[in-house]
Amino acid sequence: MAAPLSPTTHNSTGEDASTQEILRRMDALARQKPEHVEALAFFRALLPILRRAEVDVPSFALTPEAARKKFALHQPLLAGEDLPFDTEAAKSLFLQLCRLSEDDPESPLHSQACMENRHMAAARIRQAVECDELDLKALLQTAAEGRWQELIPLVDVQRLEPDVLRTLAELSLAPSLRAWAREAAIHVDLDEWRQEICPMCGSRPMLSEIQGKEGVRRLRCGLCGAGWYYPRLKCAICGNEDYHALGTIYVEGEKEKYRLQTCDACKNYIKVVITFEPNPVELLMVEDLVTLHLDVIAGEQGFSRFKHL
């Protein structure tokens, strides 16, 4: 799993040491991918908001026995638990994220909306919450349990952008889930999981990483930050192990950093990031952003991306 947050060592701006390092890496990516400078600025603004939200997360911990029992049964450790979400704090964070996206026309969230609603999606969602047209508590509970199909009628009636709504909801839950996942992971060896869903929250992986000198592959959850071992010659979506059906997509000059693994059996793909150390969870969405060109190529070749969150 990604390393726990570093001890809180603040500089003159109030940023802790791990936040400073993440910001430096964002700056490096901005130099390498100047076409994404504006969108990366959004993530720079998002980072301290999510970090601050982790400070006041209510405590929750599984007993070692309960964690090991669920793990042995291939049940995600946080799934089905009575998690103590602070709904008022989550609502405050949700509205703050809406406003951040509204104020930034280059917000990556806008790219999830259809063109005519691109700059209005977050504002419409915020207004629905503030006018009590949208039950945010129920929305967040649904997001935490992955029951998104239940919200389709509501989203259709209110003409909300479903992907933007989903991202905002899950970002609002992320600080709590990340804190609880770090605690739960102490009791198990995540590399023994080897399933296609997250061992902590049950989400699909956002991407996979090839880590270290040994080139070990680990899937990464973009919601709670967990990372777990997964065979390199196996589809992370359908579990297909026929290597004849597995392929690779990359662009010249990027193969040693970014590529896709495709599967002819399910026609899906997953992103692959080569890295010496596991990326902090806050950088996973950034790595996803700077590889959008690979999504386009995959779509042109008939492959789809399984929804990861």
With respect to residue 51, please indicate whether it lies within any of the assigned structural domains.
yes
Mean pLDDT of 23-27: 91
Mean pLDDT of 118-131: 84
What is the band of 262 on the pLDDT scale with cuts at 50, 70, 90?
very high
Do 171 and 33 reside in the same domain of the chain? yes
Do 248 and 214 reside in the same domain of the chain? yes
Question: Which of the listed residues 157, 187, 217 is the one where a domain comes to its end?
Answer: 187
* Residue 55 host element (H or E): helix 37-55
In this structure, are residues 265 and 252 in contact, taking their beta carbons and an 8 Å threshold? no
Do 137 and 165 reside in the same domain of the chain? yes
Q: Domain range for residue 216?
A: 190-305
Do 202 and 73 reside in the same domain of the chain? no
- Residue-wise pLDDT for 71-104, tens only, equals 999 999 998 898 898 888 988 999 999 999 888 7
Do 197 and 297 reside in the same domain of the chain? yes
Give the list of residues 6+ apart from residue 150 with CB closer than 8 angstroms, or none.
Answer: 142
Do 117 and 71 reside in the same domain of the chain? yes
Q: What does the alpha-carbon distance between residue 95 and residue 99 come to, in Å, rounded to a whole number?
A: 6
Do 88 and 207 reside in the same domain of the chain? no
Do 172 and 279 reside in the same domain of the chain? no
Do 31 and 117 reside in the same domain of the chain? yes
| 219, burial (CB in 10 Å: exposed 0-12, middle 13-18, buried 19+) | buried
Q: Locate the DSSP E strands across the chain.
A: 207-211, 216-220, 227-229, 246-249, 258-263, 268-275, 304-305
Do 204 and 297 reside in the same domain of the chain? yes
Instruction: Please give the model's pTM, rounded to 2 decimal places.
Output: 0.87
With respect to residue 6, please indicate whether it lies within any of the assigned structural domains.
no
With respect to residue 214, please indicate whether it lies within any of the assigned structural domains.
yes
Mean pLDDT of 27-32: 90
Number of structural domains found in the chain: 2
Do 25 and 161 reside in the same domain of the chain? yes
Q: Select the more confidently predicted residue: 3 or 123.
A: 123
Do 63 and 140 reside in the same domain of the chain? yes
Comparing C-alpha atoms, which of 169, 95, 86 is closest to residue 131?
95
With respect to residue 225, please indicate whether it lies within any of the assigned structural domains.
yes
Question: Which of the listed residues 126, 156, 187 is the one where a domain comes to its end?
Answer: 187
With respect to residue 10, please indicate whether it lies within any of the assigned structural domains.
no
Q: Going by DSSP bridges, is the β-strand pair 246-249/268-275 parallel, antiparallel, or unpaired?
A: unpaired
Q: Going by DSSP bridges, is the β-strand pair 227-229/246-249 parallel, antiparallel, or unpaired?
A: unpaired
What's residue 118's pLDDT? 54
What is the band of 105 on the pLDDT scale with cuts at 50, 70, 90?
low
Question: Which of the listed residues 141, 171, 187 is the one where a domain comes to its end?
Answer: 187
Q: What does the alpha-carbon distance between residue 284 and residue 176 come to, in Å, rounded to a whole number?
A: 17
Q: Going by DSSP bridges, is the β-strand pair 268-275/258-263 parallel, antiparallel, or unpaired?
A: antiparallel
For residue 299, the domain's CATH number is 3.90.1670.10
Q: Going by DSSP bridges, is the β-strand pair 304-305/268-275 parallel, antiparallel, or unpaired?
A: parallel
With respect to residue 8, please indicate whether it lies within any of the assigned structural domains.
no
DSSP structure class, residue 10 = B
Over the chain, what is the mean pLDDT? 86
Q: For residue 68, give Cα distances in angstroms to 63, 178, 288.
A: 9, 19, 32
- Residue-wise pLDDT for 241-258, tens only, equals 999 999 999 999 999 999
- pLDDT at residue 307 above 70? no
